[in-house]
Chain A
């Protein structure tokens, strides 16, 4: 039962990671790429590491519980750090004067 939950969580996280990579590769400009990368990487890391933490509890003891709690702490750190890093990169792009992507007919006006 716990194994099934761990597999489902890990597969969901891998789906979100695949979406993030697809967005990084295919979106037209820097801001949209960062939009995909910032959100989907955070959620993919949460789901994958939650799956690993659940699977880690398999022979339940104090040691495995502490390791799973440490994985949870890493997830909490990623949830604070990843949006902050994303905001810092966006700030660098805006201050450098990068222009957001617009549709072609809007550009000609």
Chain B
């Protein structure tokens, strides 16, 4: 079972590395936000698996819970900050033509 959870943790790290592509090269700022949010939600699970591998679940569950709250607040703050076209103008002309919704 130890080896199985080690493999699961390595697979999660591989998925996080793939999500990092979207966080690094995403065409718009909100695309990067999607990648960062996906990495954060995988990190919560990864922390609990690490706690199981070290046989310290009681400690790492608290760390994972605090990380989940921190990730949630970080994503909320970043999306509130970027919701007025900030940082979107640089690439927007080629990627997405401008449209104004009601």
Contact A81 B82 (CB under 8 A): no
A-B contact count (CB 8 A): 149
Contact A92 B79 (CB under 8 A): yes
A89 at the interface (CB under 8 A from B): yes
How many residues from A make CB contacts under 8 Å with B? Answer: 52
Contact B38 A24 (CB under 8 A): yes
Nearest-neighbor residue (CB-CB) of B45 within chain A: A48
A52: chain B residues within 8 A (beta carbon): 5, 45, 48-49, 52
SS class, residues of chain A in contact with chain B: helix
Known: A33-B22, A48-B45, A96-B85. A81 touches B68 (CB 8 A): yes
Known: A25-B18, A70-B65. A17 touches B12 (CB 8 A): yes
Known: A45-B41, A96-B84. A89 touches B19 (CB 8 A): no
* Range class of the B interface residue count: 35 or more
Known: A14-B11, A77-B69. A45 touches B38 (CB 8 A): no
Contact B37 A97 (CB under 8 A): no
A5 at the interface (CB under 8 A from B): no
Q: Say which residue of B30, B48, B71, B82 sits within 8 Å of A49 (CB atoms).
A: B48
Q: Closest approach, in angstroms, between the C-beta of A58 and any C-beta of chain B?
A: 9
Known: A33-B22, A88-B80, A95-B83. A70 touches B68 (CB 8 A): no
